[in-house]
Structure 1
Amino acid sequence: MLKPLLSLTGGIIATLAVSALHAKPLSDEDLSVAEVLRDRALESSDAYSIVESLTVEVGPRPAGSAGDQRAVAWAQEKMKELGFDRVYTEQIEVPRWNRGHAHARVVSPFPQPLIVTSLGYSVGTPEGGLTAEIVEFPDVEALMKAPARKVKGKIAFINKRMERTRTGEGYGPVVGGRSKGMRAAAEKGAAALMIRSVGTDSDRFAHTGMMYIEGVQDPVPALALSAPDANLLEAMLKRGKPVQVKLDVHNQRLEDGPSFNVVGEITGRENPEEVMIIGAHLDSWDEGTGALDDGAGVGVVLETARMIAELPQRPRRTLRVVLFGAEEIGLVGAKQYVEAHQDELDNIIAVSESDFGAGKIWRFDTRLPDSRFDIADQMMQLLAPLGIERGNNKSSGGPDSSVFVARGVPAFGLYQDGTDYFDYHHTPNDTLDKVDPENLKQNVAAWVVMSFLATEMEGDLGRVPTEH
């Protein structure tokens, strides 16, 4: 039911005659419609239902896998069901990989098992496994600086803890061990790499994730240890005796194959060629069901578009939802999207992505020319009652969105509270029960305000300086 919105239709139509030189980009009528949308979102559980559908009916969906294919089909049907004007896919090419088993065990001096998981696209051990001594490093930089003789034939162990923060800024200082550690270990002749999981929990779950594999000569097995097992290994090493670990790992690298970006549009009534992109990524790692990463984001942006599609008339410009493929393995879908559409980037007025779990949104960042802070100020009138504060003007809009920002596209960033996000990130514990339906309501309320006002505003946002 949209009776409150129907009463505003005449006001919206009246604004169409207003000049683009209006003192403010958004009229009182625009703000009133956005306020109604916001308040309706706070009463709807539809975003949670979308996440539930994705995790139950599809589940894990690594890029290029059978689960990924099911997710692509699911997304197309869901967009049609939700009332998008146009639904289509764009094929991308992705490297593919199958996870097998990964076992680790201390064989001396204190025999006991360790909980590990293979990092994405890791090779396996030789038949029968391998046994080698552990050599510990405080971070990947120390491994990179170490003489080869210290590492050769041993299992390099990067033991760097991640700091828990609301913003997730503790991720950057530690993720290099996951992304660059195997290359450094392989170049120095290590038998294998193990890292303390990139996470903030104390559960006995290991966190998987992607690493750099291209161009690595003679790659070696790469594993993440659960935090308690990293603590255990650390304590053993402090006793001053050589620690021997046996690894038995089996994974399979497959031929490259297809995946897809799935795209749905709410076509603009006046300037359909101008586009606001909101996105999430459809793929996930295979350990959990991808509920937080990034099922929640999928639910938020699809529900946002559904609510706007149900307005009595379409917004001024097109709202395009892109569910990017293969984000987890290096923003592959976003990179190939930008490459394929580089001649159209000037028509993308702004971009934003939901990819940080399902916590409450607490901050609104932008990346706009200084001359267009007025639109952000007007948005904040409706975001502030949701408990959201104004942040900075350095937003990338999200991981996939950053590829667009690098080409000068403006961005909006609605940032969730990520205090516990990295407790579950890339683990078997990333499941639907970690998604709070009430938090999702608040997320959609913020997203529908930002998305509607961006597609309805007069004028554009210009371009932003790119970093080199």
Structure 2
Amino acid sequence: ALRLLRRGKRLQLTAKIDIESGGPYESYNVVAEIPGSEKPDEYVLIGAHLDSWGLGTGALDNGCNVALVIDVARQIKRLGLRPRRTIRFALFNGEEQGMIGSWGYTRTHAQELDRHVMASAYDIGSGEITGFFTGGRAELLPALEKALEPVRGLGPFTNLNAPIVGTDNYDFMIQGVGNLVAAQASANYGPNYHAESDTFDKVDLNQLRLNAAIAAAVTYGFAQMEVDWHRQTRAEIETLMQTTDLGKQMKSFGLWQAWQDGSRGRSK
């Protein structure tokens, strides 16, 4: 076959591949928090997914952002900051299988979701943070601009009032919780996406440190500020689906039916 290819011949290959699955297994999220000094029963969440694709070591997707979340917690503690609201740090499992860990979080903490002011997700490697997606919630934009003020020199930032599906903000969004997803320069994330080449040497450590500073500013800023938004109702979420491409994204990810039958997302 190799000789034929070298002579410019076109070949057709038929292959039979046996694929085995290990079956169901149990995994866990890792959740920690810094209690709020004034509003301990209100929450600002920062999260990243702990699992990775099986081919590589998952340094870009998503080990570097797991380190980012841990470093944000470490820096807030090191500086002795006391946020007004509780900051919750979540490392979700099962993201690659359909955001299972963050879905589980919203079910386990269902009684607290009314008091979740904002949930953010970091999931695009170590490329430069260029802004945030605000989930189609225009009311988050001025608050986000305010939170970014201390790190304005690391910008410019372009914030996009659009929903995004495919990472761990999703279940917060369809539960009506204000949510953010970091928009990042692709850098070397794309070429190594879900590949065996996703290894530690691809991580831009300097940029990751800068990203952690941005994430810390946003997280702490939302924990401190007064807010004028609420958790959306199911009707408001459905309006969001109609006025943006959220519904289309959900269908492309195979998530639409679970919303329609009420097994996933806010019920009322």
TM-score range with shorter-chain normalisation?
0.7 to 0.9
CA radius of gyration, larger in? 1
1:281 partnered with 2:49? yes
Q: CA separation in 1, counterparts of 2:4 and 2:237?
A: 54
Q: CA separation in 1, counterparts of 2:172 and 2:185?
A: 24
Please report how far the alpha carbon of residue 368 of structure 1 lies from its aligned counterpart in structure 2 after TM superposition.
Answer: 6.8
Q: Matches of residues 29-68 of structure 1 in structure 2 within 5 Å? A: none
Q: Matches of residues 141-160 of structure 1 in structure 2 within 5 Å? A: none
Please report how far the alpha carbon of residue 390 of structure 1 lies from its aligned counterpart in structure 2 after TM superposition.
Answer: 2.5
Q: CA separation in 1, counterparts of 2:15 and 2:138?
A: 57
Name the residue aligned to 2:210. Answer: 442
8 Å CA contact 1:361–1:414 kept in 2: the answer is yes
Q: Matches of residues 423-434 of structure 1 in structure 2 within 5 Å? A: 423-434=191-202
Q: Secondary structure at the match of 2:20?
A: strand
Name the residue aligned to 2:96. Answer: 328
Name the residue aligned to 2:10. Answer: 236
Please report how far the alpha carbon of residue 378 of structure 1 lies from its aligned counterpart in structure 2 after TM superposition.
Answer: 1.4
8 Å CA contact 1:398–1:413 kept in 2: the answer is no
Q: CA separation in 2, counterparts of 1:272 and 1:366?
A: 24
Match of 1:264 among 25, 28, 32: 32
Match of 1:417 among 185, 193, 215: 185
Please report how far the alpha carbon of residue 330 of structure 1 lies from its aligned counterpart in structure 2 after TM superposition.
Answer: 1.3
Q: CA separation in 1, counterparts of 2:139 and 2:193?
A: 38
Name the residue aligned to 2:115. Answer: 347
Name the residue aligned to 2:58. Answer: 290
8 Å CA contact 2:47–2:121 kept in 1: the answer is yes
Please report how far the alpha carbon of residue 396 of structure 1 lies from its aligned counterpart in structure 2 after TM superposition.
Answer: 3.8
Higher mean C-alpha deviation, range 345-354 or range 452-461: 452-461
Match of 1:255 among 18, 23, 26: 23
Higher strand share: 1
Q: CA separation in 1, counterparts of 2:139 and 2:99?
A: 31
What do residues 49-73 of structure 1 show as CA deviations (whole Å, max 9, x unaligned)? xxxxxxxxxxxxxxxxxxxxxxxxx
What do residues 350-386 of structure 1 show as CA deviations (whole Å, max 9, x unaligned)? 1111100111111233247544543223124234310
Name the residue aligned to 1:245. Answer: 14
8 Å CA contact 1:380–1:390 kept in 2: the answer is no
Runs of at least 5 residues in structure 2 that lack an aligned partner in the other structure: 242-268
Please report how far the alpha carbon of residue 429 of structure 1 lies from its aligned counterpart in structure 2 after TM superposition.
Answer: 0.6
Instruction: For 2:152, give the aligned amino acid.
Output: A
Instruction: For 1:407, give the aligned amino acid.
Output: Q
Query: What is the TM-score with the length of structure 1 in the denominator?
Result: 0.46
Match of 1:379 among 120, 124, 147: 147
Q: CA separation in 2, counterparts of 1:369 and 1:431?
A: 35
8 Å CA contact 2:140–2:178 kept in 1: the answer is no
- For the aligned residue pairs, the C-alpha RMSD in angstroms reads 2.6
Change (3 A) 1:423 1:402: same
Q: Secondary structure at the match of 1:308?
A: helix
Change (3 A) 1:396 1:378: same
Q: CA separation in 2, counterparts of 1:305 and 1:355?
A: 17
Change (3 A) 1:252 1:369: closer
Name the residue aligned to 2:77. Answer: 309
Q: Matches of residues 388-399 of structure 1 in structure 2 within 5 Å? A: 388-396=156-164, 399=167
Q: CA separation in 1, counterparts of 2:140 and 2:61?
A: 32
Q: CA separation in 1, counterparts of 2:115 and 2:228?
A: 10
Name the residue aligned to 1:466. Answer: 237
Quick one: percent identity of the two aligned structures?
34
Name the residue aligned to 1:118. Answer: none
8 Å CA contact 1:366–1:395 kept in 2: the answer is yes
Instruction: For 1:349, give the aligned amino acid.
Output: V
1:405 partnered with 2:173? yes
8 Å CA contact 2:65–2:122 kept in 1: the answer is yes
8 Å CA contact 1:352–1:398 kept in 2: the answer is no
Change (3 A) 1:425 1:373: closer
Runs of at least 5 residues in structure 1 that lack an aligned partner in the other structure: 1-105, 113-231, 238-242
Say how many residue pairs are matched.
235
8 Å CA contact 2:99–2:166 kept in 1: the answer is no
Q: CA separation in 2, counterparts of 1:407 and 1:400?
A: 12
Q: CA separation in 2, counterparts of 1:330 and 1:368?
A: 21
Instruction: For 2:10, give the aligned amino acid.
Output: M
Q: CA separation in 1, counterparts of 2:160 and 2:186?
A: 17
8 Å CA contact 2:137–2:162 kept in 1: the answer is no
